[in-house]
A = this chain, B = another copy of it.
Amino acid sequence: MISEKFLDVISHEGVVSLVTCGSDGAHVSNTWNSYLVIRDNKILIPAAGMRKTQENVEQNDKIKVTLGSREVMGYRSMGTGFLVEGTAKFLESGEEYDLMKEKFPWLSRVLEVTSESVKQTL
């Protein structure tokens, strides 16, 4: 589900948005393209803050992730983006946590997004 083009996008730097819903509406937190680690249909993201995202996810685990790059070809011209829809979980231990902690020593948790749908939007 994670395509070559998706990997191409995250090889360029950019802003990723992580959208979750709480009882008080939508929340958005951000990270960088270069922080994403792909394992099959999972996206692993280092988390230092992201407290509100975690609070929301513990109530409602649905998440939407958007990212893109102007330097990767889209359907019709330069610039493409993706919308990932899936579920989110915060990890504080385990194999994926250890893998990420080695790469990003400053993380306190890992946000694991299990993608259910990955759409190229542009």
- A interface residues with partner B (beta carbon < 8 Å): 13-15, 17, 19-21, 25-28, 30, 32, 62, 64, 66-70, 79, 81, 83, 121-122
Task: Indicate which residue in B26, B69, B83, B122 contacts A64 across the interface (CB closer than 8 Å).
Answer: B26
Q: Write the nearest CB–CB distance from A119 to chain B, whole angstroms.
A: 12
From A34, which residue of chain B is reached at the shortest CB distance?
B70
Asked whether, in the complex, the Cβ of A26 is within 8 Å of the Cβ of B20, the reply is yes
Task: Indicate which residue in B19, B30, B70 contacts A26 across the interface (CB closer than 8 Å).
Answer: B19
Asked whether, in the complex, the Cβ of B30 is within 8 Å of the Cβ of A25, the reply is no
- Distance between Cα atoms of A8 and B3 in the complex (Å): 32
From A16, which residue of chain B is reached at the shortest CB distance?
B15
Chain B residues near A21: list those with CB within 8 A: 21, 25-26
Asked whether, in the complex, the Cβ of B79 is within 8 Å of the Cβ of A28, the reply is no
